[in-house]
Amino acid sequence: MTNEQRSYNQYCPLARTLDILGARWTLLIVRELLSGPKRFKDLQEALVGIGTNLLSTRLKEMESNDLVFKSKLPPPGVAAVYELTEHGRKLDETLLSMMRWGIPLLEKAKKANEHVRPHWLLYGMLSTFNPSLAQGISETYEFNVGGEVFHMRIHEGQVTGDMSKGHNPDLIWVSDSEHFMALAFGLTTPQKAFEDGAVKTGNVEMIERMLRIFDPVQC
């Protein structure tokens, strides 16, 4: 058959987790599926370099490990999609933790020829959410970065976010990835971003508050 599933063979919660998640690409597939069901093609395009055969193999492994399942979207657009199971969705806490650790590695600079997708950055920002600074705030932010729409809603000290429009967002941000990163990493000021027209709805104070609640620079 395909994979002999090389196991660490250790009775340890970490080792058992790595037996399932440790193979190359697996966690990046989970990352992609965190923002909703995706077609084979979508995954292939987001995961530059994976090769169709390996993607296919991984998805099957993940299916048999109860991380994803295959379903069909209802019309219009009847397409087979891959979706996270409930078990798989429970990995969000772990992935956010890994993202938080990885943010300083971005070093405020994108290497030449490195790939970027706006939702990677938006998830990174989400991972820096600071509940204690969000107490008493109830706001919705909508980001349109490089054409990808994402929103975050802060309510009762918690945040939720996904790739969709927000309901009556208090802040609407529109820019490309570069300008978004510049703001997130403090390379530009909210005032300048506002003057540049990146803010379609909302004001400078709102961006400043948002940046306090999500602060990658502190990571």
Partner DNA sequence: CGGCATCCATTTTGATACTG
Partner DNA sequence: CAGTATCAAAATGGATGCCG
Which residues of the shown chain bind a second copy in the complex (CB under 8 A)? 6, 8-18, 20-22, 24, 27-28, 31, 48-49, 90-91, 93-95, 97-103, 105-106, 110-111, 113-117, 120-121, 123-124, 127
Q: What's the closest the beta carbon of residue 152 comes to a second copy, in angstroms?
A: 16
Q: How far is the CB of 202 from a second copy (least distance, A)?
A: 25
Q: How many CA atoms lie within 13 A of 138 on its CB side?
A: 5
- Residue 11: C-alpha distances to residues 16, 20, 21, 22, 94 (Å): 7, 14, 16, 16, 20
Q: How far is the CB of 43 from DNA (least distance, A)?
A: 8
- Among residues 86, 77, 3, the alpha carbon closest in space to that of 38 is found at 77
Q: Least distance to a second copy from the beta carbon of 9, Å?
A: 5
Candidates 22-30, 104-112, 114-122, 159-167: pick the segment binding DNA (CB under 7 A): 22-30
For DNA, the binding residues in 41-70 under the rule CB under 7 A are: 41-42, 49-54, 56-57, 59, 70
Distance from C-alpha of 122 to C-alpha of 150, rounded to nearest angstrom? 7
- With 0-12 CB in 10 A as exposed, 13-18 as middle and 19+ as buried, what is 117? middle
The reply on whether position 25 binds DNA by CB under 7 A is yes
Cα angle: 152, vertex 199, 167; to 5 degrees: 35
Q: Does the footprint of DNA cover residue 131 (CB under 7 A)? A: no
